[in-house]
Amino acid sequence: MTARLDSPLKVTGRARYGSDHNPPGMVFGYVVLSTVAHGEVTAMDVTAVRDAPGVLAVYTPFESLELHTPHNPIMGATWVPLQDTDVAYRGQPIGFVVAETFEQARDAASLVEVSYRERTPLTSLEDGLAAAEDAPPSMDGSPHTVTVLASGVESIEDALAASPVVVEATYTTAPQNHAAMEPHSAVAVWESGTLTVYSGNQGSDLQAASLAQALAEPLSAVHAVNPFVGGAFGGKGATSVPAFLAAAAARDLGRPVKAALTREQVFTATGTRAATVQRLALGAEKDGTLVALRHDSWSSTPMSRAFIEQTSHSTSREWYTTPNMVISQKMVPLNIPPTTFMRAPGEAPGSFALESAIDELAVELGMDPIELRRRNSSLAPPGKDLQWSSKHLDECFGIGAERFGWSQRSEGGRVDGDWLVGLGTATAMFPALRFPASVRVTLNADDTAEVATSGADPGTGLLSVLSLIGADSLDIAPERVTPRLGDSALPSGGMSGGSTATASAGSAIMVAAPEVIDELLTLAAAPGAPFEGAEVSYADGRVLATDGRSLTFGEVLRAVDRSSIAAVGSSAPGEEMSKHSFSSFGAQFCEVRVHRWTREVRVSRMLGVFDAGRIINEQPARSQLMGGMIWGVSAALHEGMEIEADGRLANGDFASYLIPVNADIPDVDVQFVQYPDTLHNPVGARGVGEIGIVGVAAAIANAVFNATGTRVRNIPIAIEDLL
């Protein structure tokens, strides 16, 4: 186990985040947000703003900074501000004031007089259901209604009607804000025709490409830097409004510009998790064999229809074997803040519905919910028929049940004084993905090495993982390997998203390291070199000759007068994708205590047992999973954006948007079963970033049912749901 290399810098405040950069001559931008949820800006009177002290520029849709919509292969199109007068939600960026100080910019921004032509907003998912539209095909190109029927079965309705046991229920999940510790911000500097942007994001090369497209500048003129990121998890996958505005204003003014959203602005001017309504119907034989599954899902989407929360596709499509399945995904366009990826997009809310429904079916059957899950565990996703590369979910449940004391669970829970105590469980799954990535591996004459890629460590521990895989591939101690990330000038590492970074970058290291070792051996045996003409090999950081002589790689480099040698390795998903299905798996366990009189819910114990292939570094892997599980508690019991009929967010700050504090979280037990998945990638690691949140909300709701007999089908679960 290796401690995270960035931890000392972070806990001592020495880590420099994007907006910690303060180049000389820097000025400050403040973003102006709309105060209506739907309509058009007809005029913006900025006379008083211009006259305010320190103001350098005011940008509006009427006097705008030119920005073009960028597209990237992972995030798709990214909205850019101030390019038209449409208002699609309340809290939408509509102006940008730049002044000598932050305070001057903020004060001046308050003097903008905006006139609107208002239209009635549509903000409630329930009200929007009638106008729901079929979602466009998902990212893998598959349609959003998928039908699998056994031969001779006419419809899923027939299959359900023929099922001896049926449960049907509708579940809802609240929209959520990312609430990352580091608000979206950027510092932009133009110098001799080159733009450098310091800004937290999930992939600096993608950030540089987006900014270059938005500004219509050549890619070579844009340099994106993000050494540290204070929380991302999908919320910093796309380039942010402050980054676009700071970059464009810096070019316009010829001064470095810093722009940072306030905490309140983060709530609407970035990306949120969609609200969902999900209707589930499960049909089973009396022995628990699933024979029919229907999962219809609706998710809120902004009027731009930019993002779909793929709940039914991410869960019901793959998790259980069933001969008859229909899943659908519809979007409900609303005048709400943008929706985007958030930790386990699709699986997090989708698993609440599916895993609650499975628990309801277990109750109906009088069957242990773990036994029911075991019986229907899929060998291959229904309709896809490619078997899982490596699945040890049953073992996760076995270990978890033993460790958690599942056999002590009784129907109706138990009573401890004034507390009703219940246990719940749920499956967790998250697809194992990876993206194309390139990594440069360098050997230095001082016997150190460097592993460098443009990707991001958004707090996941990727830095340490790179040094470990680098050390393993070079056969030297990890302390000798310096990892570098977060700079678009480095080889393209893609995005730290989709729980992919270890598999993507790690695989590229395993290509680059043998190449640089080959080059070292060639150098070592070249004419005039220490091993001229000899047969040489490499081990333990040394070049070895058959006659027993050996030198460290640094000694060889010094002898041939080289300060360093480097190789860039690239890796991408390949034909393995047509041979197997890939996923991480987990079993979530939870104990809740519900107060008999106040109906307060406390989570008192949690355990997650995960099958995520090879674990490279246990400490940060455990932290990732723990963080996900805590986010799951938050989703189940705390978080939810309350959007009023006029589109105002009623709880857009940390005083009113509930997130758990330490006192809400018990000891979180995280266990692994480790089966390296080398069918997926040479490292054998699958993702651990997102699966931690999956299933947690269902495990909690199932535990609440066990404790109280009340089935709550909406999250967050509130006291009034249990009265």
Catalytic residue ranges: 690
Of the candidates 32, 63, 49, the residue with the CA atom closest to the CA atom of residue 259: 32
Determine if 705 is a binding residue for ligand MOS (CB under 6 A).
Answer: no
Residue type, 190: W
Of the candidates 655, 653, 658, 627, the residue with the CA atom closest to the CA atom of residue 640: 658
The residue from 29, 491, 494, 497 that contacts ligand MOS (CB under 6 A) is: 497
User: In the numeric block, which tokens belong to residue 360?
Assistant: 């309801």
Of the candidates 169, 124, 142, 130, the residue with the CA atom closest to the CA atom of residue 328: 142
Q: With CB under 6 A as the contact rule, which of the stretches 231-239, 364-372, 594-602, 698-706 interacts with ligand MOS?
A: 231-239
Q: With CB under 6 A as the contact rule, which of the stretches 228-236, 251-259, 549-557, 676-684 interacts with ligand MOS?
A: 228-236
Determine if 338 is a binding residue for ligand MOS (CB under 6 A).
Answer: no
Q: Rg of the chain's alpha carbons, rounded to an integer?
A: 27
Contact of 426 with 588, CB cutoff 8 Å: yes
User: In the numeric block, which tokens belong to residue 692?
Assistant: 């931690």
Measured from the CB of residue 630, what is the shortest distance to ligand MOS in angstroms?
16
The residue from 203, 234, 424, 554 that contacts ligand MOS (CB under 6 A) is: 234
Percent composition of the chain: helix, strand, coil (DSSP 3-state, to 5)? 30, 30, 45
Residue that has been written with the tokens 């990352």 in this structure: 180
Measured from the CB of residue 275, what is the shortest distance to ligand MOS in angstroms?
17
The residue from 341, 352, 397, 406 that contacts ligand MOS (CB under 6 A) is: 341
In the complex with ligand MOS, which residue's Cβ is closer, 28 or 341?
A: 341
Residue that has been written with the tokens 């509708």 in this structure: 170
Determine if 461 is a binding residue for ligand MOS (CB under 6 A).
Answer: no
Determine if 652 is a binding residue for ligand MOS (CB under 6 A).
Answer: no
In the complex with ligand MOS, which residue's Cβ is closer, 116 or 341?
A: 341
Determine if 431 is a binding residue for ligand MOS (CB under 6 A).
Answer: no
In the 8-state DSSP scheme, what is residue 251? H
Contact of 30 with 259, CB cutoff 8 Å: yes
In the complex with ligand MOS, which residue's Cβ is closer, 314 or 464?
A: 314
The residue from 271, 345, 530, 586 that contacts ligand MOS (CB under 6 A) is: 345
Determine if 200 is a binding residue for ligand MOS (CB under 6 A).
Answer: no
Question: Which helix (H) or strand (E) is 99 found in, with range?
Answer: strand 93-99
Determine if 392 is a binding residue for ligand MOS (CB under 6 A).
Answer: no
Residue that has been written with the tokens 């937290």 in this structure: 200
The residue from 112, 125, 250, 342 that contacts ligand MOS (CB under 6 A) is: 342
* Helix residue ranges per DSSP H, 461-600: 462-474, 501-525, 553-559
With a CB cutoff of 8 Å and minimum separation 6, the contacts of 720 are none
Measured from the CB of residue 631, what is the shortest distance to ligand MOS in angstroms?
11
The residue from 29, 494, 498, 684 that contacts ligand MOS (CB under 6 A) is: 498
Measured from the CB of residue 460, what is the shortest distance to ligand MOS in angstroms?
10
SS3 635: helix
Alpha carbons 510 and 516: distance in angstroms, whole number: 11
Determine if 369 is a binding residue for ligand MOS (CB under 6 A).
Answer: no
Determine if 233 is a binding residue for ligand MOS (CB under 6 A).
Answer: yes
Determine if 237 is a binding residue for ligand MOS (CB under 6 A).
Answer: yes
Residues 148-187: x where in contact with ligand MOS by CB under 6 A, - otherwise, as a string: ----------------------------------------
Alpha carbons 500 and 613: distance in angstroms, whole number: 13
Determine if 343 is a binding residue for ligand MOS (CB under 6 A).
Answer: yes
Determine if 455 is a binding residue for ligand MOS (CB under 6 A).
Answer: no
Cβ-closest position to ligand MOS: 234
Residue type, 257: V
User: What's CA 558's distance to the chain center, in Å?
Assistant: 44
Contact positions toward ligand MOS, by CB under 6 A? 202, 232-234, 237, 341-343, 345, 497-498
